Amino acid sequence: MVKLIAKATLLTLIICFSVIISKAQVGAEFAQFDVGASAGVNQFYGDVVTKKSTQAFSFNIDFNQTPFVNYILEGQFGKLAGGGVNDQLGRQFSADYQYYAFRVQFQLGEVIDYSQSDFANSMKNLYAGAGVGIIYGKITSINRYSTQIPGYYTPGEDKSNQTFLPLRVGYEFKIFNQYLQPNIKIDIGYQYNYIFGDEIDGFRSGHLNDSFSQFTVGVKFSVGVIASYRKEINYFH
């Protein structure tokens, strides 16, 4: 009888402990991988004056060390353009590009306590990140002869490949499933891409490197291994 009571007591303790653990994990689980896509609008800064808006499309695979620390592999393709016949020197161009980049992204929720404040809770998904990549450009249309100064010519290449620095800030809206895991994420961001070279626009002029900015909207879907976080992730308390 004593042995039976002891076994029953041990079983009860195990069950109670399991329930406590499972409750502690509610709202604290997340998938360690995301796959996603986004679309955006570019604006180029280089050896032309007039700014033109062009499109960009990208695909990404993320590894989430935590819900708020993300390592991102991204591939993007799109167009860059600028200039006009009435610009000083009359330069104008358009180009197709593709890039491949790696970024590290930190969200505010990793370092703040958002459990006691609705405002902090709403701010936890703000993020900033940076990385490195390589961009390949191909000129599709260009005017190297000035329309303002007869005979003035700006040299350059029709194809290029250069490294660049992507700097990004944004906000990630997390959508939770029935297990309170963030399984869909809407990402709104601004990215500035500083290119370590002066060839993407097809003009080699001056001492400033090329760059372009972009505003993007994307969606990510969580897949793969489920992990636990040290605190609740969901918005509601």
Is residue 14 assigned to a domain?
Answer: no
> Is the pLDDT assigned to residue 60 strictly greater than 60?
yes
Rounded to whole angstroms, how far apart are CA atoms 137 and 230?
44
Whether 80 contacts 55, CB under 8 Å: no
Mean pLDDT of 213-224: 97
- Residue 235: pLDDT band with limits 50, 70, 90: low
> Is the pLDDT assigned to residue 11 strictly greater than 50?
no
- Residue 24: pLDDT band with limits 50, 70, 90: very low
Specify the pLDDT at position 5.
42
Specify the pLDDT at position 146.
83
Mean pLDDT of 120-130: 96
Specify the pLDDT at position 236.
59
Is residue 16 assigned to a domain?
Answer: no
- Min mean pLDDT across 23-32, 85-94, 96-105, 208-217 is at 23-32
- Name the residue type at position 48: V
Specify the pLDDT at position 96.
98
Rounded to whole angstroms, how far apart are CA atoms 23 and 36?
30
Is residue 38 assigned to a domain?
Answer: yes
Rounded to whole angstroms, how far apart are CA atoms 31 and 96?
35
Mean pLDDT of 189-197: 97
- Residue 152: pLDDT band with limits 50, 70, 90: confident
> Is the pLDDT assigned to residue 37 strictly greater than 70?
yes
> Is the pLDDT assigned to residue 82 strictly greater than 80?
yes
Q: Which two tokens stand for residue 185?
A: 């994420």
pTM for the model: 0.86
User: Which residues, in sequence order, are CB contacts of 123 under 8 Å at separation 6+?
Assistant: 108, 112, 114
Rounded to whole angstroms, how far apart are CA atoms 66 and 64?
5
Q: Residue 114 is part of a domain; what is its CATH number?
A: 2.40.160.20
How many domains are contained in the chain? 1
Q: Domain residues for 171?
A: 31-225
Mean pLDDT of 166-178: 96
Q: What percent of the chain has pLDDT over 70?
A: 87
Q: Which of 212, 88, 92, 84 is CA-nearest to residue 141?
A: 92
What mean pLDDT, rounded, does the chain reach? 88
Is residue 8 assigned to a domain?
Answer: no
Whether 235 contacts 174, CB under 8 Å: yes
- Min mean pLDDT across 8-12, 27-31, 113-117, 200-204 is at 8-12
> Is the pLDDT assigned to residue 2 strictly greater than 50?
no
Q: Which two tokens stand for residue 167?
A: 């700097």
> Is the pLDDT assigned to residue 21 strictly greater than 60?
no
Is residue 20 assigned to a domain?
Answer: no
Mean pLDDT of 227-231: 93
Specify the pLDDT at position 26.
54
Whether 221 contacts 182, CB under 8 Å: no
> Is the pLDDT assigned to residue 89 strictly greater than 90?
no
> Is the pLDDT assigned to residue 22 strictly greater than 70?
no
Q: How far is CA 47 from the centre of its chain?
A: 27
Rounded to whole angstroms, how far apart are CA atoms 102 and 168?
12
Q: DSSP string of the chain?
A: -HHHHHHHHHHHHHHHHHHHHHHHHTT-EEEEEEEEEEEEEEEEESS-SSB-EEEEEEEEEEEEEETTEEEEEEEEEEEEEEE-TTSGGG-EEEEEEEEEEEEEEEEGGGTS--SS-HHHHHHTTEEEEEEEEEEEEEEEEEE-B-SSSTT-B----SEEEEEEEEEEEEEEEEEE-TTS-EEEEEEEEEEEEEESSS-TTS---SSPPPEEEEEEEEEEEEEEEEEE-SS--SS--
